[in-house]
């Protein structure tokens, strides 16, 4: 637990202005990692998921000689115990978003109305985040969530948070940022609330993009909504990228140097434990790959090569084109069924039981009209679409662009901009879930830099 004494005793390890970071709902530590890369000390990570807490502890705190740590507990049970001494606190975190997200709503409805809308306690965990942030008398606050939080049963949660912070002595704004604008090979949009203590006198500066979209006319669904947000006094449009910035990082640029694992659908599946290292396929070929290998340049091997054995579907994946979704996969599966039935001389009208058994073996059982968004083959020429926590259950949502399989742990981590020396704790499912839930570290680095500039603006 953070205390007055350990804060004072270790302030020499903090940046010049003595800011330390308290990370709530930390997950595996993606948001905190960006702050650490920018020189901030992560005072404590608080996370209820055991595997994610271990990951945050291992990667963010192990080398700090136990001066900082990861707490495996609910934020509901967490109380800030340090007064900060002469040090200053920045509180960051992403309260659970399932209650707000479209994916979450569909799932919760299937579980029962008692887990939906106002009945879902997770919808109000942002209040616990604010409780701790205010207890810590935080000099700066960063809260992350999904864009759907702007309309939760008619309520804009982002505005509600800003309003409460204003009443407690802060300047506050909210915006929506796209991870691709910050060098992450993924078009992942997330809502952020930024707040600075009024007595600090600083202004809130939003992060500056490091990359730009290749098609200036293209607008995401959230960009199209920016005009409708302008009536909200707390909303601020994100900074626009400079014209000379590099284009968004593509999937090919992100993962093409990683190990080749399944050449074709006839290749025998081999399970590699997450800690097993395999040789890189090539040398680092671009700036992004070099950045991901920054702390592993002398290593010829990389871990996290686990992927799911979805044997029925390897043949389907093999025939999918870049950008194809489940509707295409469903049609491909039926083509495979017809070919196999012809080869085996199984006629549906004459051999109904054999045909039914063959169909079950080859064709996924999902409705292609309801399920089509759940499968997608990555295009090597574009950033990935958004990674989600459901990766922990399957990886059909992100099918490898060249090989007939889902992505590996390390490939998912690359698409989220976790460096190759970041090691995930727990099972393969745990690792995928942690990655899908995380804030991309490169995006967080840009946020941390903006926070530092904001605080310096008041000096």
The CA distance from 75 to 118, in Å, is 20
Three-class DSSP category at 301: strand
And the tokens for 452?
């530092």
And the tokens for 109?
């409805």
Token pair 């640029």 is found at 253
Three-class DSSP category at 332: helix
Catalytic residue among 28, 97, 162, 230: 97
The CA distance from 222 to 180, in Å, is 14
Task: Using alpha carbons, select from 313, 331, 291 the residue that is nearest to residue 421.
Answer: 291
Q: Are strands 140-145 and 88-93 parallel, antiparallel or unpaired?
A: parallel
97 belongs to the catalytic site: yes
The CA distance from 172 to 168, in Å, is 11
The CA distance from 76 to 103, in Å, is 25
Residue 185 Cα distances to 217, 257, 353, angstroms:
19, 14, 47
Three-class DSSP category at 156: coil
Q: Are strands 69-72 and 88-93 parallel, antiparallel or unpaired?
A: unpaired
Task: Using alpha carbons, select from 228, 211, 193 the residue that is nearest to residue 92.
Answer: 193
What are the residue numbers of the active site?
Answer: 97
């Amino acid at each position: 637990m953070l205390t007055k004494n350990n804060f004072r005793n270790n302030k020499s390890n903090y940046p010049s202005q003595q800011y330390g970071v308290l990370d709530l709902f930390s997950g595996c530590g993606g948001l905190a990692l960006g702050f650490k890369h920018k020189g901030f000390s992560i005072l404590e990570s608080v996370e209820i998921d055991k595997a994610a807490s271990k990951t945050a502890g291992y990667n963010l705190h192990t080398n700090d000689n136990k001066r900082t740590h990861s707490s495996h507990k609910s934020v509901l049970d967490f109380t800030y115990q340090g007064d900060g001494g002469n040090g200053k606190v920045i509180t960051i975190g992403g309260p659970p978003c399932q209650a707000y997200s479209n994916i979450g709503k569909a799932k919760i409805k299937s579980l029962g109305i008692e887990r939906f809308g106002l009945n879902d306690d997770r919808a109000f965990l942002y209040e616990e985040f604010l409780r701790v942030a205010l207890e810590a008398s935080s000099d700066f606050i960063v809260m992350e969530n999904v864009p759907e939080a702007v309309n939760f049963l008619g309520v804009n949660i982002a505005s509600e948070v800003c309003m409460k912070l204003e009443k407690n002595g802060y300047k506050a704004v909210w915006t929506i940022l796209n991870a691709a604008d910050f060098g992450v090979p993924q078009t992942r949009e997330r809502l952020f609330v930024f707040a600075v203590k009024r007595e600090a006198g600083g202004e809130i500066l939003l992060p500056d993009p490091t990359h730009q979209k290749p098609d200036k006319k293209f607008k995401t669904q959230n960009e199209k909504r920016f005009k409708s947000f302008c009536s909200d006094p707390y909303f601020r449009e994100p900074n626009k990228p400079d014209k000379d910035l590099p284009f968004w990082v593509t999937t090919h640029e992100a993962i093409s140097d990683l190990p080749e694992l399944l050449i074709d659908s006839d290749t025998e599946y081999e399970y590699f434990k997450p800690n097993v290292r395999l040789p890189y396929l090539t040398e680092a070929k671009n700036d992004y790959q070099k950045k991901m290998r920054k702390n592993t340049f002398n290593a010829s091997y990389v871990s996290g090569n686990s992927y799911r054995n979805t044997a029925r579907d390897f043949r389907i994946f093999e025939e999918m084109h870049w950008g194809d979704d489940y509707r295409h996969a469903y049609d491909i599966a039926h083509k495979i069924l017809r070919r196999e039935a012809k080869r085996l001389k199984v006629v549906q009208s004459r051999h109904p039981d054999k045909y039914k058994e063959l169909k079950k073996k080859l064709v996924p059982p999902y409705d292609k009209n309801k399920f089509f968004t759940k499968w997608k083959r990555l295009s090597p020429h574009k950033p990935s679409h958004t990674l989600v926590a459901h990766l922990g259950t399957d990886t059909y949502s992100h099918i490898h662009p060249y090989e007939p399989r889902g992505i590996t742990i390390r490939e998912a981590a690359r698409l989220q901009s976790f460096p190759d020396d970041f090691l995930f704790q727990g099972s393969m499912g745990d690792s995928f879930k942690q990655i899908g839930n995380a804030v991309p570290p490169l995006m967080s680095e840009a946020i941390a830099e903006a926070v530092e500039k904001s605080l310096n603006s008041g000096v």
